[in-house]
């Protein structure tokens, strides 16, 4: 049965602090895309080579070995226990990886079309088809399952992630995050985060009520969004990445893939990581004491809680510096009437970054 997509919009605010130091874990990789972990092992897919590779992240110098080869452009992966689900061109393959020496192919689910997102809940495999505008699913309990439509009429659905019965999914082109209760008979999907704040979300995962996402756009970043309470807040953790694609969290470390070393597709890719600060956003605000208002803004913004002799830099969404000024008082006014509408980043003393929106 075709389910209609009804959109409800929630209001929210955004504050961002970026201080994490990025480290390169592996370099000279061939277009690494998705990344997953099990026990002490990190698995990653190299799309061009059609392989799944792995390494022990506890080793100071990681040694890479090949787990699976001859795949059809592997993309997203999901690991559930000893089961590894791989989204390939036109199919989803299910592997038993209880042995990392001799993994075995259990089953193949065919009939997917231009799929980009993958999620597993119980005995059901959910996948998104960005060209057909659908989210569909397979029931693994059936002997010969066929894909069943979950939602149709979508525009470029992409990354998927479950929180309980709620399926969160990304609109790849416009940069919107939706959620949908897969157990509900209602035909309602809710807009959680809109395109004014994110750009090309490629991967999502949950830890508790926090939704982590990696974005590939003009300010490619990794961010974290709380999904409870009001207003919803989103914190950017790192930004200005090179063609980012997949991410995972191990303890306080975030690992992510960069398909290439830059916008040139011939440059080798990498896996990198950074460590999350244990200090929460509330503590950071308390330490820094800097507030910016109004946000969104029009002709001017005010900074309060400043120390004497600080420096502020304002960047647009492409990373271009548009304003640079010295701050001498506890409160400063910045004239913004000449700026175009859009997203901006305010950096204070090369440490605290705040995302701003001009209406």
Cβ atoms within 10 Å of 297's Cβ, excluding its own? 18
Cβ atoms within 10 Å of 61's Cβ, excluding its own? 5
The string of pLDDT tens digits covering residues 63-109 is 999 999 999 999 999 999 999 999 999 999 999 999 999 999 999 99
Give the pair of three-digit tokens for residue 15. Answer: 């504050």
- 273 alpha-carbon distance from chain centroid: 14
CATH number for the segment(s) 289-358? 2.60.40.10
Report the C-alpha gap between 206 and 209 in whole angstroms: 7
Residues 223-233 have a mean pLDDT of 76
Q: Which residues of the chain are in CATH 2.120.10.30 domains?
A: 12-278
CA 329-335-340 angle, to 5 degrees, is 145
Structure confidence at residue 242 (pLDDT): 87
Superfamily of domain 12-278: TolB, C-terminal domain (2.120.10.30)
Q: What is the pTM of this model?
A: 0.76
Structure confidence at residue 264 (pLDDT): 64
The rounded percent of the chain whose pLDDT value lies above 70 is 84
- Could you give the C-alpha distances from 201 to 195, 320, 336, in angstroms and in order? 10, 22, 29
Q: Residue 351's pLDDT band (boundaries 50, 70, 90)?
A: low
Higher pLDDT, 265 or 120: 120
Report the C-alpha gap between 342 and 359 in whole angstroms: 7
Q: Residue 350's pLDDT band (boundaries 50, 70, 90)?
A: low
Structure confidence at residue 307 (pLDDT): 74
Q: Which residues of the chain are in CATH 2.60.40.10 domains?
A: 289-358
Alpha helices in 246-334 (DSSP H): 281-288
Contact 358/338 with Cβ under 8 angstroms?
no
């Amino acid at each position: 049965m075709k389910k209609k997509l009804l959109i409800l919009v929630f209001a929210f605010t955004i504050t961002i602090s970026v201080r994490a130091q990025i480290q390169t874990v592996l370099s000279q990789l061939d277009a690494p895309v998705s990344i997953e972990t099990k026990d002490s092992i990190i698995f990653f897919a190299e799309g061009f080579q059609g392989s799944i590779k792995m390494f022990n992240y506890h080793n100071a110098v990681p040694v890479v070995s090949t787990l699976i080869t001859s795949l059809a452009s592997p993309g997203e992966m999901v690991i559930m226990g000893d089961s590894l689900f791989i989204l390939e061109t036109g199919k989803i393959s299910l592997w038993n990886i209880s042995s990392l020496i001799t993994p075995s192919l259990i089953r193949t689910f065919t009939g997917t079309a231009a799929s980009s997102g993958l999620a597993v809940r119980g005995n059901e495999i959910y996948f998104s088809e960005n060209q057909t505008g659908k989210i569909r699913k397979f029931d693994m309990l059936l002997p010969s399952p066929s894909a069943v439509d979950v939602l149709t009429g979508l525009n470029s659905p992409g990354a998927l992630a479950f929180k309980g019965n709620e399926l969160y999914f990304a609109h790849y082109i416009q940069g919107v995050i939706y959620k949908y209760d897969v157990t509900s008979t209602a035909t309602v999907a809710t807009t959680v985060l809109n395109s004014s704040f994110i750009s090309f979300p490629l991967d999502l995962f949950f830890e508790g009520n926090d939704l982590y996402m990696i974005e590939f756009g003009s300010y490619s970043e990794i961010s974290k969004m709380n999904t409870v309470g009001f207003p919803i807040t989103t914190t950017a953790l790192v930004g200005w990445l090179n063609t980012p694609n997949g991410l995972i969290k191990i303890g306080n470390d975030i690992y992510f893939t960069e398909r290439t070393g830059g916008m040139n597709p011939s440059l080798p890719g990498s896996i990198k990581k950074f460590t999350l600060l244990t200090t929460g956003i509330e503590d950071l605000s308390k330490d820094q004491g800097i507030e910016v208002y109004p946000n969104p803004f029009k002709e001017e913004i005010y900074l309060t809680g400043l120390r004497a002799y600080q420096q502020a830099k304002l960047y647009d969404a492409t990373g271009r510096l548009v304003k640079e000024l010295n701050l001498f008082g506890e409160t400063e006014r910045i004239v913004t009437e000449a700026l175009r509408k859009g997203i901006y980043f305010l950096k204070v003393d090369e440490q605290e970054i705040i995302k701003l929106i001009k209406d």
